[in-house]
Chain A
Amino acid sequence: MTATVAPVADIADRGYAHPEVLVSTQWVADHLKDPNVRILESDEDVLLYETGHIPGAVKIDWVVDLNDPLTRDYIDASRFQRLLRSKGISDNTTIVLYGDKNNWWATYAFWVFKLFGVKNVRLLDGGRLRWADEGRELVTQVPRYPDGNITVSGRDDRSQRAFRDQVLEHVNNAKRLVDVRSPEEYRGERLHMPEYPNEGALRGGHVPGARSIPWGRAVNPETHTFRPAAELRTIYEAENGLQKNDDVIVYCRIGERSSHTWFALTYLLGFEKVRNYDGSWTEWGNLVRAPVEKP
C-alpha cells in the first residue's frame, strides 16, 4: 500500500540528457523479483540498512567497502570486482543504487562505480526517503545471492576525478569550479564541525573563483527527486554561467555532496567534462600555501 505524497513528473518527461540512469520508485517496485536487477543501499547512517531496506536490497558501505583501509583512496580493481561479485552482480546485471541523505552516498557510490567503468548502473530518483514517504515496504531480512561473474578491468580516474594539482591549474587558468557546500562553509564561517575533527580544516573559505551552488538546489525538497532539466539549467547555466562544454571541477568537504552535483551536471544536463575533487575541503583547507578566498 502506498501513501499519498507529492506527485512527480515521469523521468522521461523531465528533459534530461541521460534519463536512462534514473529509475523511479515504481520501476524498482516492479523489478524487486527481477534476477537481473540488483538493488544496493549506500548510506551515511551505518546501521540504517539494518533497520529496514527495500526488499532484496544489499548493503554497500562507502567506508568499509569502497575506501582503501590505509591510503586515502579507493580500493583497487581486483578488490572491487570481488566486492561486486559478492553482491551477486554479473556483467548483465542492472545495478540500482539508493540511499539516505537525498542519495549523497548513492551518487558517491555511483561515481566510484564509474571510475571502475561499470556501465549498467542506475540511481533511484528520490532515494530512500521517497520510497519511505510513499509508504513502500521496508524489510529487515538480509538477502543472500550466489556470487556473480562481473569483470572489472581496471580503474581510470582521469576523466571523472580531480586531484589538488588539477584544482590549482583550474584556479590559475580561471576555469570553472563549483563549491557545493553550505553558504556558511563557503564563506569560511564554519571551519570544522564540532566533534568531527577528521572532517575539519585549518583554514576556512573556498577555492578562489569557485561558485557557490549548494548541492541541495538540484533537488525538489517536497518530493526529494531531481528537479526537471529546465530548472537545473536555470540554476547552473543561467544563474551561474556554467556551459555544457565547460571543464568543471566540483568539490565539498570529502566528495560525497559534490558527487551529487557531478551526477546532476553529467547525466541530467549532459555536461561533457565534470570531475569530482574528492580531496575537497578536508585536503584544500589543510594544504600549505593553497590559495583560499573569503568574502
Chain B
Amino acid sequence: MDQETRIAWLVDHSQRPRFKGSLPDADARVPGGNPGCGDLITMYVKAAPGEDRIEAVRFEGTGCTLSQAAASILAVQMNKEQPTFAEVLEFSYEEMLDLLGRGIATSRPQCATLALGTLKGAVKIVKMNRELRAAGYTDAEIVRVRERSGKAPSVT
C-alpha cells in the first residue's frame, strides 16, 4: 500500500469507524487514554464461552485521527480473527505500528498503540476474572478483590 492510499485508509477508518459502540454483554469494559491530551478509548471484549478466545470486540472513543483509526482497524482484525488471549497479549506494539504503517504511526506511537494497550488490559481482566471464578470467587468478591488491589472494577 503506498503512502497516499494508506493515509486515505486511516482517514476512512477514523471518519467511518467499524465496530464502534458499546457491547452490552461484554465480559470486560476497560477505558484507556489521556484526558489531558484528548485521546480516549474504551474497549469492550466478549470472550468465547469455555474458550480462552475473543468472540467480539467493540470500542467507544474520541481523539485524534490516528488513535480512532487504530481502534477501528484493530477491532476489525479482532472480530475477523477471533484470536486467543495469548495471541492478543503477544501481539506487540511493533506489530501494531506495522499494521497501521510505520511512515505515519511511528511519529505518534502513543496514539497508534492506545487501542492495543487498552485491549490487552481488557483481555487480562477477562483472563483474571475467569481464573478467580475457577478458584471459587463470586462476581461480587472479584469486584472487591480488584478494588483492594487498586485495579478498576471493570467487570460488566
Contacts and interface: CB of A to CB of B under 8 A. Distances in A.
Contact of B64 (A48, A195, A197): A48
A64 interface: yes
A44 B32 CA distance: 19
B138 to A, nearest CB: 29
A45 interface: yes
Interface string A170-214: 000000000000100100001001111111000000000000000
A51 interface: yes
A186 B48 CA distance: 45
Nearest to B63: A45
Contact of A48 (B65, B107, B109, B110): B65
Contact of A46 (B36, B108, B114): B108
A46 B117 contact: no
A286 to B, nearest CB: 17
A61 B7 CA distance: 15
A46 B14 contact: no
Nearest to B113: A195
Contact of B66 (A45, A194, A198, A199): A45
A44 B7 CA distance: 16
B10 interface: yes
B63 to A, nearest CB: 8
Contacts of B15: 51
A50 interface: yes
Contacts of A185: 36
A189 to B, nearest CB: 12
B74 to A, nearest CB: 14
**Chief secondary structure at chain B's binding surface:** helix
A195 B107 contact: no
Contacts of A51: 11, 14-15, 65
Q: Which interface residue of A47, A50, A185, A198 has the most chain B CB atoms within 10 A? A: A47
A190 B35 CA distance: 11
A12 to B, nearest CB: 33
A47 B63 CA distance: 12
B142 interface: no
A198 B112 CA distance: 13
Given A47-B7, A193-B36, A63 B107 contact: yes
Interface of B: 7, 10-11, 14-15, 32-34, 36-38, 64-66, 69, 104, 107-111, 113-114, 117-118
Interface of A: 44-48, 50-51, 61, 63-64, 101, 182, 185, 190, 193-199
Sort A-B residue pairs by CB-CB distance and give the 8 closest, nearest first: A47-B65, A45-B64, A193-B34, A63-B107, A195-B117, A46-B108, A196-B110, A195-B114
